Chains A and B, each alone.
Chain A
Amino acid sequence: MALLRALFPWGPVFFGIGFLAPLIATIMGALNIPAPLGLSEIHIGLAIGAMWGLIAKFGGRWI
């Protein structure tokens, strides 16, 4: 329980990296949206997902 209590506040960041990142990459691939700057779709997904998760964690809201 102590471990869970320590990890849960960081849930939005884990969610951003663990779920939103591959979801964004999959959607980019499905819609044929090319990744800029020579990056791959998953790089873009990880960047957006991690950033959005951090914003949600410290800002308190996803939207």
Chain B
Amino acid sequence: MSIAETTMDLSREDEQRLYREEMTIARKYIGPFPVVMALWCFTNLACWLSLWPLVIFNIIPLWAGFIIATVNVALCYLPSHEAQHSNYAAPGKPLRWLNELIGYVSTIPLVLPFKLARYTHMLHHKHTNDPKLDPDYEVIAATWWQAAWKTVRRMQPGFPNSYGVVLSENADDPAAQRAGLEGALQSLAYWTILCTLAWSGFALEAAFLWWVPRLLGLVYISLFLSWWPHHPMNEMGRYRNTRSFKYKFGNILAFGMEHHIVHHLHPGMPLNRNAPAFREMRPILEARGCRLEDH
């Protein structure tokens, strides 16, 4: 993507000056190891795992476990998202193993295979809002409730799986083959564990600590990570393919996606540093004609 791909009529000098200023700000926030996101991964996973003995031994009621598990599932994607971008450690770095570990274990509650998530997410960044090439384009809808309902429809067995379609189209790519194999094995393991628990007398626990929370979490994640930041998904280009927005219930419930535009501009910046970077970059983004909505 060229830095000249903006919608504003800027001179070449202005383009270069804005780009330099943007990069100067970005470098301040990209560097340090994202401790918050790493702690988020392991704390969230430990909380979800601890629910199983707590509920099975009647230390907490199932309804309380269900609520906490649903929150855990919804929260588990974002640390893995950082790993998809190699934000804990790039290939060849000493902590690369930690990057990959977080990528794999963080989304266990969500049953989202890491390699599949990384493969499709990189395509999303490369082809954001392209109807044919963006694997997340399926979520397009006029309103948030239509987007939520569409996510439910996408879970139905007869609906084409957009990630599966991407893997089929790239069947000759070894990375796609690996992602497909890991995805199939992880799904198989998930269904096997659920069925084993159910036939062992833990059907309610399996349903309300994993199966239903996962369905709810998938809808929430799809809504706030795919639909809201890219809506209405009708523009492409570095400075127009996503937006900042103001969510009326706050940025925490929006998973920090109010400043998603900063993520698309600088994917190497951890989520918890997007907001201060956005505030600092705002004059530059305004000069670029970015979609700063409801701010």
Give residues in A with beta carbon < 8 Å to B: 1, 4, 8, 11-12, 14-15, 18-19, 21-23, 25-27, 30, 56-57, 59-63
Please name all residues of chain B whose beta carbon is closer than 8 Å to the beta carbon of A61 when the two chains form the complex. Answer: 153, 156-159
Sample of 5 A–B contacts (CB below 8 Å): A15-B191, A15-B195, A18-B198, A27-B204, A60-B157
Indicate if B181 sits at the interface (CB-CB under 8 A): yes
Instruction: Please state if A22 and B203 are interface contacts (CB–CB under 8 Å).
Output: yes
Q: A22-B199, A23-B206 are in contact. List 5 more A-B contacts (CB 8 A).
A: A15-B195, A22-B203, A26-B204, A60-B159, A61-B153
Please name all residues of chain B whose beta carbon is closer than 8 Å to the beta carbon of A4 when the two chains form the complex. Answer: 184, 188
Closest to B198 in A: A22
Instruction: Please state if B157 and A11 are interface contacts (CB–CB under 8 Å).
Output: yes
Instruction: Please state if B198 and A19 are interface contacts (CB–CB under 8 Å).
Output: yes
Instruction: Please state if B158 and A23 are interface contacts (CB–CB under 8 Å).
Output: no
Kindly state the separation between the CA atoms of A62 and B157 in the bound complex, as whole angstroms.
8
Instruction: State the main secondary structure of chain B at its contact with A.
Output: helix
Give residues in B with beta carbon < 8 Å to A: 152-153, 156-159, 181, 184, 188, 191, 194-195, 198-199, 201, 203-204, 206-207, 211
Kindly state the separation between the CA atoms of A56 and B195 in the bound complex, as whole angstroms.
18
Instruction: Please state if A23 and B157 are interface contacts (CB–CB under 8 Å).
Output: no
Known: A27-B204, A30-B204. A19 touches B211 (CB 8 A): yes
Kindly state the separation between the CA atoms of A7 and B159 in the bound complex, as whole angstroms.
18
Kindly state the separation between the CA atoms of A53 and B121 in the bound complex, as whole angstroms.
31
Please name all residues of chain B whose beta carbon is closer than 8 Å to the beta carbon of A19 when the two chains form the complex. Answer: 191, 194-195, 198, 203, 206, 211
Contact partner of A60 among B158, B201, B203, CB < 8 A? Answer: B158
Kindly state the separation between the CA atoms of A57 and B158 in the bound complex, as whole angstroms.
8
